[in-house]
């Protein structure tokens, strides 16, 4: 069984359309490459009770949980408080984070910046060489900032700890409409029910109309599915196989 994951994106700016979220797509893509099965993505408001309920529910449901947003120094950054409440913990200042900030800012360290040292009681720091300010983790929840560059920097440095058995992927680009090949796809899944089969129409590509993806953690299973699919599809309907 693959490791499972859920992603919780936190921010009124996402829900109001002021800012377009890119973090969930990035995390989902990177986790897939690591062999992790992302099963749910949620976007929620900056509300302590909603954060508490959603993150604690995700923590029970999935092996790994990643949150994005709401960990800055301003009034609407309430993710830490929400996650702490969800686990029944107090919010405390982490001494190592406070030391890092005092070393960096010296006399310019104000109360707003000190908010960045707050963590749920019992939290640990996910730190690797190259991270000056670690990511915070509690139980199976990894707490990331909402700024895309910062999230990516932190994730890149700790991502190997999430690696699982990889997915094997093949892609088939078909020149037929999706409706014309649906019956063969159903037949393929009937014969190979554990195959992860995706069908993605492209209305603007001049060379093909549908991209099919075949995935499994068993490389031989994917190859068998590919061979069977190529046998099922009409001759001349394949544009490309990757």
Model confidence pLDDT, tens digit, residues 176-215? 999 999 999 999 999 999 999 999 999 999 999 999 999 9
**Is there a common fold for 4-162 and 168-241?**
no
Domain ranges of the chain: 4-162, 168-241
What rounded mean pLDDT belongs to the chain? Answer: 94
Residue 227 has a pLDDT of 98
Q: How far apart are CA 25 and CA 129, in angstroms?
A: 25
How would residue 105 be classed by pLDDT, with cut points 50, 70 and 90? confident
The CATH architecture that domain 168-241 belongs to is 2-Layer Sandwich (3.30)
Q: How far apart are CA 12 and CA 155, in angstroms?
A: 23
Report the 3 state secondary structure along 140-172. Answer: CEEEECCCHHHHHHHHHHHHHHHCCCCCEEEEE
CATH of 4-162, one of 3.40.980.10, 3.80.10.10, 3.40.50.720, 2.60.40.1180: 3.40.980.10
Q: Residue 128 pLDDT more than 80?
A: no
Model confidence pLDDT, tens digit, residues 130-185? 677 888 999 999 999 999 999 999 999 999 999 999 999 999 999 999 999 999 99
């Amino acid at each position: 069984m693959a490791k499972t994951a859920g992603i919780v994106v936190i921010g009124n700016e996402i829900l109001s359309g002021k800012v377009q979220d890119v973090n969930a797509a990035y995390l989902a893509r990177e986790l897939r490459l690591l062999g992790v099965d992302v099963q749910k993505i949620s976007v929620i408001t900056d509300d302590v009770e909603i954060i508490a309920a959603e993150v604690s529910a995700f923590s029970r449901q999935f092996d790994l949980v990643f949150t994005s947003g709401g960990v800055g120094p301003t009034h609407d950054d309430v993710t830490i408080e929400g996650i702490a409440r969800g686990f029944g913990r107090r919010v405390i200042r982490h001494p190592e984070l406070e030391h890092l900030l005092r070393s960096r800012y010296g006399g310019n360290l104000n109360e707003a910046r000190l908010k960045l040292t707050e963590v749920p009681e019992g939290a640990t720091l996910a730190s690797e060489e190259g991270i000056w300010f670690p990511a915070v983790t509690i139980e199976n929840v990894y707490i990331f900032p909402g700024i895309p560059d910062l999230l990516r920097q932190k994730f890149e440095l700790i991502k190997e700890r999430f690696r699982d058995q990889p997915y094997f992927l093949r892609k088939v680009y078909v020149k037929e409409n999706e409706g014309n090949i649906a019956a063969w796809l159903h037949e393929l899944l009937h014969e190979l029910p554990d195959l992860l089969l995706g069908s993605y129409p492209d209305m603007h590509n001049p060379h093909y109309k549908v991209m099919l993806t075949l995935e499994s953690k068993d490389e031989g299973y994917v190859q068998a599915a590919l061979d069977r699919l190529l046998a099922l599809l009409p001759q001349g309907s394949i544009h490309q196989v990757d």
